[in-house]
Chains A and B, each alone.
Chain A
Amino acid sequence: MSRVYLEVFRNLAGLAIAGAMLGLLGGCASTGVAKDPLEGYNRAMFAFNDGIDRAILRPVAQGYADVVPATLRTGVSNFYGNIADVFIAVNNLLQGKLPEAAGDVGRVAVNTTMGLLGVIDFASDFGLEKHDEDFGQTFGRWGVGDGPYVMLPILGPRTMRDAFAQILDSKTDPVIQLDDVPVRNSLVVMRAISDRSEYLAADKIVQEAALDRYAYIRDAYLQRRRYRVYDGNPPRVLDDGAQLETPSKYAALQAGMDSPNKP
């Protein structure tokens, strides 16, 4: 099993190094956003991931959405959701949210049996609400800060905290734990396609909305992440954005002068 990990991580490390080199080439593209100090590297990795997405993942997901009926797609999505509920329960437990953790265990019990290995989500009909937790959110609850935004190869955007938490997420992921390699690989690929197919509509909206696609996706990711860490009730950010800039820079702008950190 650990050999599998080595293999996966060696591949990822190779990609990361390739990405880092791309990043050095594009390293001057920074727009000076505080939460994104790795912007040069990130933009290059974003372009790399986007290329793979356009060439492979998106067309496959589109085909899947076009060909497979919605009911069946829901079944597939539920199947993976049921597996995810196992480690959502673990994370709720680690966050001290006992009623939620109990609910998650109940969901798995109901859906695995009555719901035919999770394909039918009866638990939601019974009022056992689906939760959304992972190790990154657990660390967030424990007070670990986000850290800089970072674009991982293939896996996509993370905060630095979540990038580390990802290692634990993978270690507790029952699908990746499977010993039968062909079965495991098929399940991982199928899950990626199913997950990706849920964002096809969002793609088109981002296309319409974004002035700078990289920045739009980054900021959407970070907003969404914050929302999830706070279980859907994040405190609202100050309206005037006063925390974003220093007064002196503001005064310089008002006087019509260039900002000191203009590249």
Chain B
Amino acid sequence: MKLSVLLMTCFALLMPAVAGAQQPPANPPANLAPDQLIKNVSNEVLEIVRKDKDIQAGNNRKILDLVETKVLPHFNFTHMTQLALARDWRVANPAQQKTLTDEFRTLLVRTYSKALTEYKNQVIEFKPFSLKNGETDVKVRTQIVQSGAKPISLDYYLEMLPQGWKVYDIEVSGISLVTNYRDTFASEVRNNGIDGLIAMLQTKNRSLEPK
């Protein structure tokens, strides 16, 4: 009796592991090449933006929802916040790090969403990309082509994590949306500490709340 219970328990404990082991193809993002991931997400999001009249009219709620569900799962915001804070990241305690990441995430999402509504008739061209064996940190280059203006380069930096490729930096025309905050953040921390920076981000984010 006892043995069978033990066996049953073992089996029950093993089940998820076995089920998990049989499932790698059920988690395709992990296997998707970084350039393919960027291509899929860009095309899917732009397709929705092009068809959605509300988004084109500037419906903030809808754009944010779109970015939240389609784009954000592929971003590593902790890494982004680390990059923006540089060595001040290690000055912050874990609770402050979490708050900083949440607030910075909100700010970046707003900016990214704003960019989406500003460039609604864009066509994205993907530059040739090849993944070298064993590479875990790559740059995927794209270009926004629009009539009446010069093309804008839009490059994504991705890293390989257990959950798949994640974006940790975005460069528009060579300007990193992440490290561009470094000096602003460093100045604020120097003058008012980590909590000062948190307050600064919170004030900015509240001023941008969709009305």
Residues of A within 8 A of B (CB): 31-33, 65, 69-71, 73-74, 77, 198, 201, 204-205, 208-209, 211-212, 215-216, 218-220, 223-224, 226-228, 232, 234, 237, 239-242, 244-245, 250, 253-254, 256, 259, 261-263
Bound complex: CA of A244 vs CA of B190, how far in Å? 12
Q: Is B54's CB within 8 Å of the partner chain A?
A: no
The residue in chain A whose Cβ has the minimal distance to the Cβ of B117 is A204
Which of A70, A73, A241, A253 contacts B182 (CB under 8 A)?
Answer: A241
Q: Which of B17-25, B26-34, B172-180 contacts A (4 or more CB under 8 A)?
A: B172-180
Q: Is B189's CB within 8 Å of the partner chain A?
A: yes
Q: Which residues of A contact B208 (CB under 8 A)?
A: 208
The answer to whether A227 and B179 have CB atoms under 8 Å apart is no
Bound complex: CA of A196 vs CA of B204, how far in Å? 27
The answer to whether B184 and A241 have CB atoms under 8 Å apart is no
Q: Which residues of B contact A250 (CB under 8 A)?
A: 87, 91
The residue in chain A whose Cβ has the minimal distance to the Cβ of B151 is A130
The residue in chain A whose Cβ has the minimal distance to the Cβ of B137 is A236
Bound complex: CA of A215 vs CA of B208, how far in Å? 19
Per-residue contact bits, chain B 73-113, to A (CB 8 Å; 1 contact, 0 not): 00000000011001110110000000000000001001100
Q: How far is the CB of B155 from chain A (nearest CB, A)?
A: 9
Bound complex: CA of A74 vs CA of B191, how far in Å? 46
Q: How far is the CB of B167 from chain A (nearest CB, A)?
A: 15
Bound complex: CA of A74 vs CA of B150, how far in Å? 8
The answer to whether B86 and A216 have CB atoms under 8 Å apart is no
Q: Which residues of B contact A224 (CB under 8 A)?
A: 173-175
Q: Is B147's CB within 8 Å of the partner chain A?
A: yes
A227-B173, A244-B186 in contact; A253/B114 too (CB < 8 A)?
A: no
The answer to whether A205 and B118 have CB atoms under 8 Å apart is yes
Which of B83, B107, B174, B184 contacts A215 (CB under 8 A)?
Answer: B184
